[in-house]
Amino acid sequence: MGQIPDEHLPGALFKPVHRGVGVWQVTLPSLVDGVSNPLVEVLKQPRSGLVVTGLGGVIISGPMISASETQTTDDVDGSWTFEGVSDLVHVEDRVAYPSPGVEDAAAQTATNDVRTGARETLLHQYVNANAGPGAPSARRVSGLTMGTDGGAGATITKSPRFTQLLDLCRDICFITGESTDRTAEFRLDLENEQLTAVESGLFAPTLTDAIVAGQEQGVNRPDRHAIRTSHSCRTTSQEPSVSTGGLGDLVTVVVHDTEIPAKITSATISVTADGVYLGVSVGDDVATDWEAGVDSTLDSLRSRVSSLERNDLNPSWLAFTPTVEGVTDAAECSGSYLIDGNLLTYHFQIVLDSGVFDVVRLGFDHAPCGGVIG
């Protein structure tokens, strides 16, 4: 639809993030040569966005999420500031349904969407079924196409239930590509002014061993010995596994004459009147920055509460077969029960061939509480 001219780029900011949703921001004048800026009119439209390219191809692309106009005495005509995110937001905005082919969330027919396959294959399958061309029309992301499935990675089993799709993808595959070792090429040091600040320290671990609890309730719920933290895994019947690794190129960071290889976790491209500048973040600031630590804790809490809401706070009706004493011509007896916390609710139906009957006692061949209703 158009290209932002060089004179309007100062102030622009583009920040792609590995394994996360990147952000971008541009500010454009409201008027150009006394008439409305056509690029402003385009970016103001819903579902608009931009594509940022460089020598290596696309750097970041994604939709606009906010637009605001500002007028001052120095800028009477005004200017529009547009903020957006990267295309990965379309995956973050979706959840993995237990029955992805069923459009109505209240009419899901399965408890979990259980799939087994190579890690790359599962990535393709879950994204395609919940956001891609294979998703119901209401959840399908327009313009999203699926690439070629190379079948890379070990064979695993996943069983999501209303799990955020991006969290599921991260859980399936922590590493999606080979890291390039550039430690010999890039040396970030305070002395060569390639580092603005370094903060490091020693901290006690937040988790040593974890209690990973599986399905069922009470004593029937399998777990593993641990001493620190409990995580719910009711959505899977598979043994838990742990993957380690990271994304981004390796560079050298010098701290007190000690060379430390570190991965680039994000990059920020800023445009000023003096030129284009690139800044990178290496390592993890969660342990040393208070605000980053709070953000990480809140994100973990959101994920855990979401898991409880999806699984523990949404009980399902389970079937049972009632037996009726004193009734000899019962053609069909069926029922179901619901356990919600400490509340046990029964529902049953008796269909008779004919005649009048008198229910003396109603019992259950698989009584969930071992009792009898009289």
Question: What average pLDDT score do residues 21-46 get?
Answer: 92
User: What confidence tier does 352 reach under pLDDT thresholds 50, 70, 90?
Assistant: low
User: pLDDT tens digit string along 283-299?
Assistant: 665 544 556 556 666 77
User: What confidence tier does 136 reach under pLDDT thresholds 50, 70, 90?
Assistant: very high
Least confident of 5-19, 74-88, 303-317, 350-364: 350-364
pTM (two decimals)? 0.63
Positive/negative CA dihedral, 149, 155, 156, 158: positive
Domain chopping of the chain, boundaries: 6-87, 318-364
How far CA 277 is from CA of 28, 249, 307, in Å, comes to 19, 19, 41
User: What confidence tier does 232 reach under pLDDT thresholds 50, 70, 90?
Assistant: very low
Q: What percent of the chain has pLDDT over 90?
A: 30
Positive/negative CA dihedral, 281, 284, 290, 292: positive
pLDDT of residue 219: 44
The Cα–Cα gap between 123 and 125 comes to: 6
The closest alpha carbon to 55, from 250, 278, 248, belongs to 278
β-sheet bridge partners, residue 319: 336
The Cα–Cα gap between 326 and 208 comes to: 60
User: pLDDT tens digit string along 181-229?
Assistant: 878 887 888 888 777 777 766 667 666 666 655 555 444 444 443 333 3
**Is the model more confident about 59 or about 214?**
59
